[in-house]
A and B are shown apart, each in its own frame.
Chain A
Amino acid sequence: MASPNILLSTPNPHKLPSTVAREDEHLLVAAAKKGDMAAFEELVSRYERKIFRLTMNITNNREDAEDAMQDAFLKSYSHLKSFQGDSRFYTWLVRIAANEALMRLRKRRPNQISLDEPIKGEEEDLMPREIQDWGPGPDQRFAQTEMREILSQVIEQIEPEYRMVFVLRDIEELSTEDTASALGLSVPAVKSRLLRARLKLRQKLDRYFKQGGAN
């Protein structure tokens, strides 16, 4: 089957609003299911940056992130026929990539990554200490590349158990239920870890965003 070229020729789909990108996703998936490699490569091109960001955020290791990304795309192609289309292809792909990244993280840190056990100290006092005003538009004080560097540094400082939930829920914008399903956690566990992840990241950003902070 020929590729839906009229759709593939859209210039730089990364810059399109997500709703526009979503409209033709199912056509590309349908073509790829029938063996159209060009359609599948278009899906890869469309999502490779986001999937690499995801695998980097989870593994914190360039080599593992590359391998996880490649294997995620390979697995998504080989299992494409089982994709029923009841969720977005991208959501399905994120779940595969998150699993690939988590497997590599566990290999590097055996006995340290436990998503399915209660985390010690979940009943601790959550109220942050020494709350300082960030002033207006703290994010505007940094250039885009500088901000990327800051975010990369702070997210790698929080424990994987929290980081994975934050990455899937807040960065990849999966629903709480999809995040729970992808990580094999209950919905209450996702909510609990998301709250702690958000508070930990807020605390880490405080150093940069507080008025007169590191700059």
Chain B
Amino acid sequence: MNCDEVIRELSNFIDGELDAATKHEIESHFTGCHECKLVVDQTKMTIKVFCNSEPVELPSDLRNRLHEGLRRKLGEARQ
């Protein structure tokens, strides 16, 4: 497997969606290619930082608007 082929399988490798033989081929490639290993590790880190980022609390004015709007519109819909 060359570098381009490894990068094309990067998502499947990270998501654990490869058969054992292809996974082994990619892991073997890493032993001789530090750059591909870096790209895979950095892509994993990229996903991790987005996943770990907690959503912020809604500003109270936005939250109040949302809940008041929902109560009003749902109330109207039920009448």
Does B47 contact A198, Cβ atoms closer than 8 Å? yes
User: Which residue in A69, A77, A195, A201 is a CB contact (below 8 Å) of B46?
Assistant: A201
User: Which residue in B43, B71, B73, B77 is a CB contact (below 8 Å) of A202?
Assistant: B43
Do most interface residues of chain B lie in helix, strand or loop, or is the interface mixed? helix
Size range of the chain A interface in the assembly: 35 or more
Would you list which residues of chain B between 32 and 65 have a CB under 8 Å from chain A? 35, 38-39, 42-43, 45-58, 62-63, 65
> With A74-B70, A151-B50 in contact, is A126–B45 under 8 Å at CB?
no
Give the residues in chain A near B38, CB-CB below 8 Å.
131, 133-134
A-B contacts counted at CB < 8 A amount to 104
Does A170 contact B4, Cβ atoms closer than 8 Å? no
A17 to chain B minimum Cβ distance, whole angstroms, is: 14
Does B3 contact A127, Cβ atoms closer than 8 Å? yes
Give the residues in chain B near A202, CB-CB below 8 Å.
39, 42-43, 46
Confirm or deny: B66 has a beta carbon within 8 angstroms of a beta carbon on chain A. yes
CA separation between A144 and B8, bound complex, in Å? 32
